[in-house]
């Protein structure tokens, strides 16, 4: 578990829009598959780019459902529901 992460940005307002949207959707937890889907959609709408749409990840424990995005600065972020 991480307690915090630092990411740089070349455009604070674009990053703020992206992270406000994605973190608000998560509420800092991907409690179910629908939350992972909503997180991915919110990130795309807020200026992120798809790096792997929502779906089961065969290599993840319990075939967890995850999704990947790139933030506006190109940092790769993901959300997973591990409760399968």
Per-residue pLDDT tens for 44-53?
A: 999 999 999 9
Task: Please give the Cα distance from 81 to 84 (Å, whole number).
Answer: 7
Band (pLDDT 50/70/90 cuts) for residue 13 is very high
Question: If we measure between CA atoms, which residue out of 54, 61, 63 comes closest to residue 33?
Answer: 54
Give the single-character DSSP code of 74. S
Task: Please give the Cα distance from 84 to 75 (Å, whole number).
Answer: 27
The predicted structure's pLDDT at residue 6: 82
Band (pLDDT 50/70/90 cuts) for residue 7 is confident
Sequence-ordered list of residues with C-beta below 8 angstroms from that of 17, at least 6 positions apart, any chain? 46, 47
Query: Which domains, and CATH codes, for the chain?
Result: 18-81 (3.10.180.10)
């Amino acid at each position: 578990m991480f307690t915090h992460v630092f990411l740089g940005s070349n455009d604070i307002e674009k990053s703020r829009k992206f992270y406000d949207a994605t973190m608000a959707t998560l509420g800092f937890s991907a409690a179910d598959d629908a939350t992972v889907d909503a997180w991915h959609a919110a990130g795309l709408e807020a200026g992120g780019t798809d790096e792997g749409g929502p779906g089961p990840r065969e290599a993840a424990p319990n075939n967890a459902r995850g999704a990947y995005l790139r933030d506006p600065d190109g940092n790769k972020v993901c959300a997973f529901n591990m409760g399968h």
